[in-house]
Structure formats: C-alpha cells, structure tokens
Amino acid sequence: MAVRSAEVTREKLLLAAHELLVESPDRTSTVSEICSRADVNVAMVKYCFGGKDAMLDALLEQVLAGLTKEVEGLYGIDLPPDQKLRRHVGEIVRNYVRYPYVNRLMNVRLMRSDPAAVNQISRSFAIPARDWYALLLEEGEREQGWPKLDPTLFFFSVVGLCEFLFAAQPLLELSFDRRLDDQLVDDFASQVADLIISGVRGAR
C-alpha cells in the first residue's frame, strides 16, 4: 500500500513540475512551488526521487519516452515514406508546443557532458529516432528514389529545423511581431515538412 501511495505521489509531482514548466518554460520552479501545486509535503521530492534534479531527470525521461513511442508508432503505418516523414515532422513541431521546456532540460544535461545523462538521452530518444530514420531513408531510397543519406546527420537536420522556432520564440515575437498561435504552428510544420521532403526528393 505504501509503495502504491509513493507511486501516486511521484506521478503527482511529475505532473505538477510539467504544468509549471509549461506555464513558465524559461524558469525552473522551486521545490516548494512544485509541491504546493501537487499538494504534497516537500520531503516527498527527496523520498520519491532523491532530489529536485533527479525529479527533473525523471520528467525528461518520461517525455522523451513518449516521443520515442510516437516515432515507433510510425513503423507499422501503411503510408508512403514521404507522408510518414511529413506526419513525423508535424509531431515533432507540435511536441515543442506540448513540452516547451524539453530542450532546456535536455541541453542543461548535455552541456554538463555527464556520460550518464548523455547515455540516458541517447537511449531514451536519440538512438531510437536515428534508427527509425535509417529505416525510413532506406524505404524512401527503395520506393521513391531518395538519395543515400546519413541517418545520424538526418536526425540532427530534422530536429534542428523543427527546434529553432521554439528556441528563438522571443525573436519571433519581439523582432517580427508574430505570435506562436495554432495557425503559425501549423504553417511552420507544413513548411518544414515541405523543405525536408523537397530536399530528399531533389538531392542527387
């Protein structure tokens, strides 16, 4: 019973951290703020995770696992390679809206050059995504005449194209007087997908 109670508390803390980070993605909420939102005692962060950093690690792991599940869900879809790629790009872009904090949490851990953190991110997201790109590129080469491309570099290219709008959102809003609303997100996803698909079709 105590184990189940701890699991429930753990999920409440992760949900609270997620909600606060969505509301203020440019700052990390305090333990007190997270516990207040979750309606749990502050001591439960240490009990459930070992500390605040470990709790944010667990949140990042949860989000990345969900992103990987989306990618893996594309394996069995009966669509031409270019349409799979278009759907995938749309999912990436919209996930930056759902999880506006994910890059900041990930970059903090990568900048530390901590092998354990890098391995966790690689295992949870980067390697599964790269492996799916490898299969997609092979399928595109076989069925639609795509050129032979490096799946690792393709991973960085696709994610990089999708990511910068969200990393530079203040530039969008303050310099160009544009707002990150649903229409702009849809237009951006479509344009990025067009650029990538035109690239793989036209590169020789």
Question: Is the CB of residue 155 less than 8 Å from the CB of residue 71?
Answer: no
Q: What would the mean pLDDT of 129-140 be, rounded to a whole number? A: 96
| H-state helical runs in the chain | 2-23, 31-38, 43-49, 52-73, 81-98, 102-111, 115-121, 127-144, 151-167, 169-170, 182-202
What pLDDT, in 10s, does the model give residues 68-90? 999 999 988 999 999 999 999 99
Question: Is the CB of residue 55 less than 8 Å from the CB of residue 13?
Answer: yes
> Side chain identity at 62, as an amino acid letter?
Q
Averaged pLDDT score across all residues of the chain = 92
Task: Please count the residues of the chain.
Answer: 204
Asked whether the predicted pLDDT for residue 125 surpasses 70, the reply is yes
CATH 3.30.1370.160 is right for the domain spanning 52-202: no
Q: How confident is the model at residue 113 (pLDDT cuts 50, 70, 90)?
A: confident
Q: What pTM value is reported for the model?
A: 0.89
CATH number of 1-50: 1.10.10.60
Burial category of 88 from C-beta neighbours within 10 Å (exposed 0-12, middle 13-18, buried 19 and up)? buried
Residue at token pair 């997270």? 34
Domain boundaries of the chain, sorted by first residue? 1-50, 52-202
Contacts 24+ apart (CB under 8 A), 65-69: 65/124, 65/125, 67/95, 67/125, 67/129, 68/124, 68/125, 68/128, 68/129
Asked whether the predicted pLDDT for residue 47 surpasses 50, the reply is yes
What pLDDT, in 10s, does the model give residues 145-203? 999 999 999 999 999 999 999 999 999 999 999 999 999 999 999 999 999 999 998 75
